[in-house]
Amino acid sequence: MTLEVVLITGMSGSGKSVALHALEDAGYYCVDNLPPELLQSFVALEQQTGAERVAIAIDVRSATSLPLVPRQLREFKNQGVKVRPLFLDATTETLVRRFSETRRRHPLSGHRSEDASHVAHDRRHALVDAIELERELLSDLREQAHVLDTSVIRPSQLQAHVKSLLSAPISQLTLVFESFAFKRGIPVDADYVFDVRMLPNPHYEPALKDLTGRDEPVVKFLEQHADVERMYSHIEQFLNHWLEPLARDHRSYVTVAIGCTGGQHRSVFLVEKLARSFGERWITLKRHRELDAVAP
């Protein structure tokens, strides 16, 4: 049996523990904060014991040995190990807020005591500096992984996203379509972003305002506008042209984000339509960031 390894890395405060718990629930043997120096010997041991699925979290606390990891991942793939690298990310503003709310210290922060002479502005500045340094240290790992943006999603959403990714075959490119609202920021995990705010907006139709792009009245409203079909065709043509080269370049995931003002009507409609079309040829997942955020 071929061993499957999920490697979770990412920014401190981005939800790595939540993702690891989701994997544990899915039947993976999980190890948190494994030093990179032990990664190869740990994987070899799991292979010897006949393990099938393991999940490993590595973070910036192992900063001095992080450069070892990209080479180790390439070696695992050459040995036939199925590797799924996941990188959890969030905006700097989100990470600052999370650290402030929990009063946790960032792993790269200095260890000086905080007294009355250190004003809040200085503490925030030091935290932002630590976060940006962490981004730099983790940039190579991020480049090799599928990125999940946890900025505006709940822990339950993150767990669902992680589990859905595990359902996709490792050996094939997986296409992820994601709708979002520009007013809540562009997803940092997007490979391609399409702005559809110029399209006719069902929000201004009283009968459609409270519906979504998955509801038939909204679908009919948008389908009657030539610009909506033109936008869909342009996105479809772009992806049809570039997905094959991306697959040949050994990309495992491509995330296509479609944004409108509220993430409720136009972007949702296009994500649903694109997912149906491309699902006939590619492994396809879909997410609706704003709709999922209010789902029970």
Binding residue ranges for GTP: 59-62
The β-bridge partners of 194 are 258
**Cα 290 to Cα 191: distance, rounded to the nearest angstrom:** 19
User: Quick one: which of 254, 277, 263 has its CA closest to 179?
Assistant: 263
Task: Give CA separation, 18 vs 15, 134, 159, 234, 235, in Å.
Answer: 5, 20, 7, 37, 34
**Cα 13 to Cα 38: distance, rounded to the nearest angstrom:** 24
Given the DSSP bridges, would you call strands 29-32 and 253-260 parallel, antiparallel or unpaired? unpaired
- Residues annotated in the binding site for ATP, as ranges? 10-17
**Cα 155 to Cα 20: distance, rounded to the nearest angstrom:** 11
- Residues annotated in the binding site, as ranges? 10-17, 59-62
**Cα 189 to Cα 4: distance, rounded to the nearest angstrom:** 23
**Cα 61 to Cα 35: distance, rounded to the nearest angstrom:** 9
Can you say how many angstroms the Cα of residue 96 is from the centroid of all Cα atoms in its chain?
19
Question: Which run of H or E residues covers position 288?
Answer: strand 283-288
Neighbours of 177 (CB within 10 A): 26
